[in-house]
C-alpha cells in the first residue's frame, strides 16, 4: 500500500495580539485528510533551517487563505482596506512557491494562496475589487451573513484547461470570501476561470498538456467538500499528484 503523502499546509499568524498564535482553519486539514493525505502545518514563525527541512520533506503543498499580502511585493502602495499584513507569512509563502515550482512539487493555492502564487511569479493584484476594478458581485459573502459553505456566485472554467479536467466541470457555483484578486498574471500562469464580472477565479501552469499539478482558485473549496464533488476532486487529485 502506497504511503500517504505529506501535504504542507501554510498557516495564518495573529497580528498585533498577545499571545501570538499560528493557526489554520480545520476545514483545510480535514479536506487533505479525507483525500488521503497527511496535513503538515507550516507556520510563519519557523526558522529558515526548519522551514527548509519541512519544504524538503513535503510531497505537495497547500497555500491557505488569510490576511492580505504586502503590496510592496508587487510595487504598489497599500490600499486603505488592507488588513492583517504579516511579513513573516509573506516571506515564507513566497519562498514556498519558488521551491514548489523549481522542484515541480504539486501545489494548490486557495484564496489568499492564489494571490501569493501570482505575486511570487511576478504578477500583481487588485487590492480591493469593490473599488478597483469595481464590481456588482458580492465577493465577501460573510458581509451578507452567508455561511462559508454556501455557494453564492457562478464561475466558468475554460474548456480543455487542466483546472476543468481536475474539477470535472466547466461551470460551477462557488463560495466567495475575498476583497483582493489577480490583476496581471504572473510568469507561467494562465487565468482559466472567471466570475461573471470577469475577475480571475482560477489559474494554472501555462503548459496544460503536462501532468504538472500547479493550480490556484480564488474560492474556498475546503469548505465545500461535504457537498460538492468538484471540491473533493480538487483535493483528491492534489493528494494523488503528491503520491507520484
Q: In what order do the strands lie in the sheet with 60-63?
A: 38-42, 6-10, 60-63, 107-110, 214-217, 200-205, 189-194, 153-157, 171-174
- Residue (of 147, 103, 137) closest to 242 by Cα position: 103
43 neighbors 83 (Cβ within 8 angstroms): no
Active site residue 111: yes
The neighbour count for residue 101, using CB atoms within 10 Å, is: 18
| Torsion angle of C-alpha atoms 15, 97, 79, 17, degrees rounded to 10 | 0
Which residue among the candidates 139, 204, 220, 223 is catalytic per the annotation?
220
The helix (run of H) or strand (run of E) holding residue 49 is helix 48-57
153-157 and 6-10 as β-strands: parallel, antiparallel, unpaired? unpaired
> In this structure, what DSSP letter does residue 132 have?
B
Which residue among the candidates 58, 86, 93, 111 is catalytic per the annotation?
111
Active site residue 222: yes
189-194 and 181-182 as β-strands: parallel, antiparallel, unpaired? unpaired
Q: Hey, which residues are catalytic here?
A: 111, 220, 222
Amino acid at each position: 500500500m502506497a504511503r500517504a503523502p505529506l501535504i504542507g499546509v501554510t498557516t495564518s499568524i495573529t497580528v498585533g495580539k498577545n499571545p501570538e498564535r499560528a493557526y489554520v482553519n480545520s476545514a483545510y486539514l480535514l479536506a487533505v485528510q479525507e483525500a488521503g493525505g497527511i496535513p503538515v502545518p507550516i507556520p510563519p514563525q519557523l526558522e529558515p533551517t526548519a522551514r527548509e527541512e519541512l519544504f524538503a520533506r513535503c510531497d505537495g503543498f497547500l497555500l491557505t487563505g488569510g490576511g492580505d499580502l504586502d503590496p510592496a511585493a508587487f510595487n504598489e502602495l497599500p490600499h486603505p482596506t488592507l488588513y492583517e499584513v504579516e511579513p513573516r507569512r509573506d516571506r515564507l509563502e513566497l519562498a514556498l512557491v519558488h521551491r514548489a515550482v523549481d522542484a515541480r512539487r504539486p501545489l494548490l493555492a486557495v484564496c489568499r494562496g492564489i494571490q501569493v502564487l501570482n505575486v511570487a511569479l511576478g504578477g500583481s493584484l487588485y487590492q480591493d475589487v469593490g473599488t478597483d476594478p469595481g464590481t456588482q458581485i458580492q465577493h465577501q459573502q460573510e458581509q451578507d451573513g452567508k455561511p462559508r459553505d454556501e455557494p453564492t456566485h457562478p464561475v466558468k472554467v475554460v474548456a480543455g484547461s487542466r483546472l476543468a479536467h481536475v474539477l470535472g466541470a466547466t461551470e460551477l457555483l462557488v463560495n466567495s470570501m475575498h476583497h483582493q484578486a489577480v490583476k496581471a498574471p504572473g510568469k507561467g500562469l494562465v487565468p482559466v476561470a472567471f466570475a461573471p464580472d470577469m475577475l480571475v477565479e482560477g489559474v494554472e501552469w501555462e503548459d496544460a498538456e503536462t501532468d504538472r499539478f500547479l493550480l490556484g482558485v480564488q474560492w474556498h473549496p475546503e469548505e465545500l467538500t461535504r457537498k460538492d464533488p468538484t471540491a473533493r476532486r480538487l483535493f483528491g487529485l492534489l493528494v494523488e499528484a503528491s503520491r507520484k
